[in-house]
Amino acid sequence: MFAIAEFGSVIRGSNDAISDRDLLIVSARRAQFGLRQRYSALGYSVSTLTPHQLKFMQRSGSLFVQHLKRESRVLCDAGGKFQCWLKQCDVVYPTNDEIRRCAASIEFFSGWPNESCLIGWKADALYCVSRDYLIKELAKLDHFVFGVNEIECALHSVAPLWKGNLEALRRLRAAKAAYRAGQAPPEGTSDSINAWIEKMGEWFGVCANNPAQKDLDGHFRTLVDRSFCSDYERLRTLEAVYIIAQTRGVYHPEHNVLLKYIKSPNAYGASQKRRVKQVEGYLLETLDLLSNKQLDWMLLPRAS
């Protein structure tokens, strides 16, 4: 199977100035690097999957497959295999356990300190897991929606007496876009984070009892033995602790390889056990550094 498909807000017609142009490339691994480089240069936010990974996601009940089924435009499909496979993909509804794990991730990210260097990261991580949580909750009610505006409409549809809105989540989305573009977060992002956490507690009972920690190094010590809710949660944690490491002037010897993971979380192959183990190793090494344990690379900061 080889296919290229555009999906997301551009396809459903709700894109705006900060929307990504989302593109999925399904191909053998050996072809992915060149294709990703080519389409990234054209302004796309590229996700790459092998056919095996795509089928694994369907068996695992990933709603991303239903996203593709409902909101994608196929640009290339060798032999029509991708579209044929997609048509045959029935819905696998999220389980209560999946939703609980998603809620736990929201609570986990909410509890991170509001350090200035982490504000953009925290807004990004909270936006992603909160949106995923809402998508899953609505999918259980047969509402398959993926954009913030569509999620808001669906919430009003299933709960007509709900008078809320998702403005705080929209502000997190804007902060996420700035963070991924390497820009400073919009003014008031910390307040937007706190407002969204409060709303999640008020509306869904999520985050209500998990205030942000004030002691950053104390928070790091809790991560060493954490049982992460997902590989994605572990990857975003590595991203945060490495941001702190860099602000303290030290870099991992495999800095460039590490950055390939944390700069493209959507391209992370969570079903690849080798990559999971590598991320685990990077995280533990960085936590050792931040706990002031002696490491060779602690003494060798990068010049740039």
- C-alpha to C-alpha distance for 238 and 280, rounded to whole angstroms: 8
pLDDT, tens digit (0-9, with 9 covering 90-100), for 228-252? 998 889 999 999 999 999 998 888 8
What percent of the chain stands above pLDDT 70?
90
Cβ count near 302 (within 10 Å) = 12
pLDDT, tens digit (0-9, with 9 covering 90-100), for 250-262? 888 888 888 888 8
pLDDT, tens digit (0-9, with 9 covering 90-100), for 274-298? 678 888 999 998 888 877 654 555 4
pLDDT of residue 298: 47
In this predicted structure, the answer to whether residue 303 has a pLDDT above a threshold of 50 is no
- C-alpha to C-alpha distance for 221 and 100, rounded to whole angstroms: 24
pLDDT, tens digit (0-9, with 9 covering 90-100), for 73-99? 999 999 999 999 999 998 889 999 999
pLDDT of residue 270: 44
Of residues 121 and 301, more confidently modeled: 121
pLDDT of residue 217: 80
Q: What is the average pLDDT across 98-114?
A: 93
Q: What band does 264 get if pLDDT is binned at 50, 70 and 90?
A: low
Q: With beta carbons less than 8 A apart as the criterion, state whether 196 and 157 touch.
A: no
- C-alpha to C-alpha distance for 286 and 252, rounded to whole angstroms: 8
Q: With beta carbons less than 8 A apart as the criterion, state whether 262 and 235 touch.
A: yes
The DSSP string of 135-204 is HHHHHTTT----SHHHHHHHHHHH-TT-----HHHHHHHHHHHHHHTT-PPPTTHHHHHHHHHHHHHHHH
CA atoms within 13 A on the CB side of 157: 12
